[in-house]
């Protein structure tokens, strides 16, 4: 998953600080073991360094001074390494705490203190928070269903994803079980194809959508996608009030998206990938397919809506170049939900 610039800069600063303090440790050792006159200018350099770095005369510098430096730098070096590791493992709170520790240990040097403060600020930025919270489920392939264009964005606040074997429970409609079960054992290199869907594909669209949105049934309010019927989808496609695409994996429908054209924008919604087929890049493929449809029609904007609470899903669209254009509060009988309108410019730059 691509890293935001805030994470990249924070890591670069941490590596820079680590290299700087490691250099100081190495120099303090060389000053102890390399004899005077080892090469031209070494004696003068040693004299200047000992005075500027340690404030002592060369003849006073002994092994105990090196170990004093090593003991003083060891906690900072360890904190820097642990901070880098925690960022790599996407441990947000641990990374922030370690960065604060680095800040405190750097208090003796104004420049190092400033660098440490910058690192802490970078880790607190929204883009960094989305990166930490995103993890694998925030990758393009793991995108959850999204709804846009006239309806509140559907999703749930970190709702628990069903295991693949639960997709075929007896409590689900037969078409939902079919969508989830038909592709339970894909090939190592499956054939992927996205096709335009017509009224005759309403059953497959409905089945994929239900399978994908089922995990959001417990959301407050629940997704309106769960209330939609196959006949409603068929009617909308037949009247061309909306259009759709279905992603097939080895001939099995495992993903879907619907869209319509509004003014100079293509608005997509009901972006769905069945749970057992996520983390494969299918959501990104569907969004890119919609964007291509928009460019073909000459529209300049691609638009969708996402619940504000779904931070992991927001990261997908921000990675694809979408920006927040508006926010809205939708009041429903089952609850109130706030969602963002995201837009991307499709015009060539």
Query: What average pLDDT does the segment 23-32 reach?
Result: 76
Strand 192-197 versus strand 243-249 pairing type: antiparallel
Q: What are phi and psi of 334, to 5 degrees?
A: -85, -5
Strand duo 192-197 + 301-307: pairing = unpaired
Quick one: pLDDT band at residue 325, thresholds 50, 70, 90? Answer: very high
Both tokens assigned to 309: 């609470």
Q: What is the pLDDT of residue 243?
A: 97
- pLDDT tens digits along 181-234: 444 555 668 899 999 999 999 999 999 999 998 888 877 778 888 889 999 999
Confidence of residue 177 (pLDDT cuts 50, 70, 90): very low
Beta strands in the chain (DSSP E): 192-197, 243-249, 252-262, 265-273, 301-307, 323-332, 335-345
Average pLDDT over the chain, rounded to whole? 78
**Torsion sign over Cα 174, 175, 177, 182:** positive
Residue 26 clears pLDDT 60, i.e. is over it: yes
pLDDT the model gives residue 192: 94
| pLDDT tens-digit readout, 265-288 | 999 999 999 999 988 999 999 999
The share of the chain scoring above pLDDT 70, in percent, equals 72
Q: What is the pTM of this model?
A: 0.51
Q: What is the DSSP string of 209-276?
A: HHHHHGGGTTSSSPPGGGG--HHHHHHHHHTTSSEEEEEEETTEEEEEEEEEEETTEEEEEEEEE-GG
**Close Cβ partners of 102 (under 8 Å, ≥ 6 residues apart):** 14, 17, 76, 79, 80, 83, 116, 119
The residue-averaged pLDDT of 315-335 equals 83
List the single range of 95-99, 155-159, 253-257, 263-267 with lowest mean pLDDT: 155-159
Q: Is the pLDDT higher at 254 or at 37?
A: 254
> Residue 153: is its pLDDT beyond 60?
no
Tell whether the model's pLDDT for residue 253 goes beyond 50.
yes
Sheet holding 252-262, edge to edge: 192-197, 243-249, 252-262, 265-273, 301-307, 335-345, 323-332
CB-count exposure of residue 64 (10 Å: 0-12, 13-18, 19+): exposed
Q: Say whether 55 sits in a helix, a strand or coil.
A: coil
pLDDT at 139 over 60: no
Kindly tell me if the per-residue pLDDT of 129 is higher than 90: no
Tokens of 308: 């504000």
How would you classify the pairing of strands 335-345 and 301-307? Answer: antiparallel
């Amino acid at each position: 998953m691509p890293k935001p610039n805030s994470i990249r800069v924070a890591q670069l600063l941490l590596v820079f600080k680590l290299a700087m303090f490691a250099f100081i440790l190495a120099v303090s050792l060389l000053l102890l073991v390399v004899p005077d006159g080892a090469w031209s200018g070494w004696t003068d350099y040693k004299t200047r360094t000992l005075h500027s770095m340690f404030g002592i005369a060369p003849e006073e510098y002994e092994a105990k001074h090196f170990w004093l430096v090593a003991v003083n730098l060891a906690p900072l070096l360890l904190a820097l390494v642990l901070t880098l590791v925690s960022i790599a493992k996407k441990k947000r709170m641990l990374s922030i705490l370690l960065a604060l520790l680095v800040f405190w240990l750097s208090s003796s040097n104004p420049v190092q203190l400033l660098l440490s403060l910058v690192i802490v600020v970078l880790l607190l930025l929204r883009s960094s928070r989305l990166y930490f919270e995103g993890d694998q489920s925030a990758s393009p392939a793991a995108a959850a269903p999204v709804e846009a264009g006239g309806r509140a964005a559907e999703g749930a606040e970190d709702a628990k994803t069903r295991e693949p074997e639960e997709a075929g429970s007896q409590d689900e409609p037969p078409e939902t079980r079919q969508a989830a079960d038909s592709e339970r054992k894909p090939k190592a290199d499956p054939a992927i194809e996205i096709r335009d869907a017509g009224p005759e594909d309403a059953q497959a669209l409905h089945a994929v959508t239900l399978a994908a949105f089922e995990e959001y049934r417990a959301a407050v309010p629940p997704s309106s996608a769960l209330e939609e019927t196959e006949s409603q989808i068929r009617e909308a496609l037949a009247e061309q009030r909306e259009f759709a695409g279905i992603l097939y994996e080895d001939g099995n429908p495992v993903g879907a998206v619907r869209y319509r054209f509004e003014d100079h924008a293509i608005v997509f919604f009901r972006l769905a990938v069945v749970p057992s087929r996520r983390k494969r890049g299918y959501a990104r493929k569907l969004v890119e397919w919609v964007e291509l449809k928009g460019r073909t029609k000459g529209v300049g904007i691609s638009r969708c809506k996402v619940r504000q609470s779904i931070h992991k899903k927001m990261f997908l669209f921000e990675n694809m170049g979408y920006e927040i254009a508006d926010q809205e509060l939708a009041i429903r009988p089952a609850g109130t939900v706030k969602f963002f309108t995201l837009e991307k410019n499709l015009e060539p730059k």
